[in-house]
Structure 1
Amino acid sequence: MKDKIIHKASEMFITLGFKSVTMDDIANELAISKKTIYTHFKNKTELVHEVTMNMFELISHGIDCICDLQKNPIEELYEIKKLVMVHLKNEKTSPQYQLQKYYPEIHEALKAQHYKKMSECTLRNLKRGVAMGLYRENLDIDFVSRIYFIGVNGIKDEALFPVHQFPKIQLFEDYLEYHLRGIVTNEGLKTLNKFIKTTVHNA
């Protein structure tokens, strides 16, 4: 039952926001009593923590699986972006913003985990890209990986990028292209252009 609660709460938090969804809402969706939820989670904060960490582990596992395939580094980044969008696809709410505002301690813990995971993945990606001649060899990869992390988090700020003006899927697409255009070689640009054309064609 605990896993069912986490799964349903995850869907509702992502779709409607962490603040908007109550324990009563989750209980009603699962057709159980609120008391049943409290036998597994002492309060909503504990449930939010479990949900966010579970989501992080789920996405991290997916990213590991993509990285294990050792694809072209540019393709790898597009596959990771696609995976993240599947999990965070809703464009009408900002779970990240609500988490930061109403559960700051959980948000900071998640951000630290996110940085560690993303840093490892990005550094490997950059090193492989340079070795394959797809990224410029004079890159300061530690600097680039940190700037990329700041950007990925920065575009989630709805005060700067309101959803009605910058739909999330397109925003992530634009930022990834922006990031790659700054680091690719002429050879890497050929590969990047293929993905840009594919994206435009499928839009």
Structure 2
Amino acid sequence: MEDKIREKAMEMFLNYGFKSVTMDDLAQAIGISKKTIYAVYQNKTELVEACVMSKFSIMKEGINKIISLKKNPIEEVFEIKQYVMSNLKNQKSSPQYQLTKYYPRIFAKFQKEQWDIMQHCVISNIERGMTLGLYRSDLHVQFIFRIYFAGINYLKDPIIFPSERFSMVFLMESYLEYHLRAIVSPEGLKKLNEIINSNHQ
């Protein structure tokens, strides 16, 4: 029952937002009493935290599997982007922005976890790309990682990028190309253009 509650809650949170969904809404959607939910989760904050950390854990596992394949670094970045987008495809609200506003403690915990996994995978990707000659040899790795991390988080800010003007698919694809074009070598640019052209066919 705990998994069922958490999975349905996460689906509703992504669709309608953490603030909008009430425990009554969730109970009605699952077809159980509110009392049953409170027997598992003491309050909504506890449920939100369980949902966020569970979703992040699943995505972290998927990203680590992609990294373990040791693919071409440029292809790896595109695969990770595709995986993340497929996991958030039903997202109609701005969950990260709402976490910041309504659940700052949970957001801080999530961002720390996000920082750790992104630091590992982005830095590893950059260093491997440099070694293989696909990325420029003069990159300041820590600077590139921090700029990338900051940019990814600002893409999700509805004030800067309102959803009615910018779809998340457009933002992620455009930002990824922007990031890669800034760091690839001439050889890497050939590979990047091949991938972009094949994706547009």
TM-score by length of 1: 0.96
Q: Note if contact 1:66-1:80 (Cα within 8 Å) is conserved in structure 2.
A: yes
Q: Note if contact 1:59-1:84 (Cα within 8 Å) is conserved in structure 2.
A: yes
Question: Which residue identity is paired with 2:135?
Answer: Y
2:194 and 2:163 map into 1 onto residues whose CA distance is: 27
1:158 is matched with: 158
Change (3 A) 1:167 1:10: same
Deviation at 1:119, TM superposition (A): 0.4
Aligned Cα RMSD in Å?
Answer: 1.0
Deviation at 1:28, TM superposition (A): 1.1
Change (3 A) 1:91 1:48: closer
Deviations for 1:19-71, whole angstroms, at most 9, x for unmatched residues? 11111111111111110000010000000000000011000000000000111
Q: Note if contact 1:73-1:125 (Cα within 8 Å) is conserved in structure 2.
A: yes
Q: Secondary structure at the match of 1:160?
A: coil
Deviations for 1:52-105, whole angstroms, at most 9, x for unmatched residues? 000110000000000001111111111111111112224631111111111111
Question: Which residue identity is paired with 1:135?
Answer: Y
2:122 and 2:91 map into 1 onto residues whose CA distance is: 25
2:69 is matched with: 69
1:93 is matched with: 93
1:121 and 1:34 map into 2 onto residues whose CA distance is: 40
Matched, 1:188 2:188: yes
Q: Which runs of 4+ in 1 moved over 6 A?
A: none
User: How many pairs does the alignment contain?
Assistant: 201
Percentage of identical aligned residues? 52
Q: List gaps (5 residues or longer) in structure 2.
A: none
| Worse overlay, 188-197 or 30-39 | 188-197
| Worse overlay, 187-196 or 55-64 | 187-196
2:22 is matched with: 22
Q: Note if contact 1:81-1:172 (Cα within 8 Å) is conserved in structure 2.
A: yes
Q: Secondary structure at the match of 1:71?
A: coil
Matched, 1:113 2:113: yes
